[in-house]
Amino acid sequence: MKSSFFTRWFHHHLEKQPEYIKKLLTHSTVLRRDKESVARSMAIALFFSCIPIPFHSVLAIILAIFFAANPLIAFTVLWIVNNPLTMAPIYYFCYRVGLWILQVPAHPFEFEQSWQWLVHELEIIWEPFLLGCVATGLIIAIAGYIITRLCYQLKK
C-alpha cells in the first residue's frame, strides 16, 4: 500500500530530529484521530480560543499531550477560531457575557492607541472580561466536545 505524501514527509523529517522529539511525535496518543482524542482536542482548542493569555497555543499543545488528545488538531483548531481577524469579536463577546453574568452596565470608553489607555481600561473592565472569557470558554469547550462526539456517532 502506498503511503501518503504527508506520511512520507513526516517520517523523512522525523529522522533529523533529536531523540526526545522523535519519542514525543511517535508517541501513540500524539497522532491519534479516534473520537475521544479528537473530541478532547476540540475542547482544549475551543477553551483556549477564549482565554486572553500569551502563548495560548503552547499551553493548548501541552494540555493536549497531557490529556491524550491530538496536539496537531488542538493547535490547528485554536488558530482557525482565534486569529488576528477573530480575536477582537471573540473578546468583545466574552466581555459582554461577563457583564451579563455580573449584571453590571458596560463601561463607556473612547479608544486611544496608547499603552496608558489600555492599562487604564483593563483596570476597569478586567472582572467582567475575564469572567466572560472563562465562562464562554468552558461552555464552547463542552459544546465542542459533545458535538464532535455526536459527529463521530453520526459518521458510523
Q: What is the DSSP string of 97-111?
A: HHHHHHT-PPPP---
| Rounded CA separation 95/75 (Å) | 24
| Rounded CA separation 154/156 (Å) | 5
Structure pTM? 0.77
Residue type (1 letter), 152: Y
Using an 8 Å Cβ cutoff, are 48 and 56 in contact? yes
| Rounded CA separation 38/35 (Å) | 5
How confident is the chain (156 residues) per 10-residue block, as mean pLDDT?
62 70 64 82 95 90 87 90 91 93 85 78 86 96 95 82
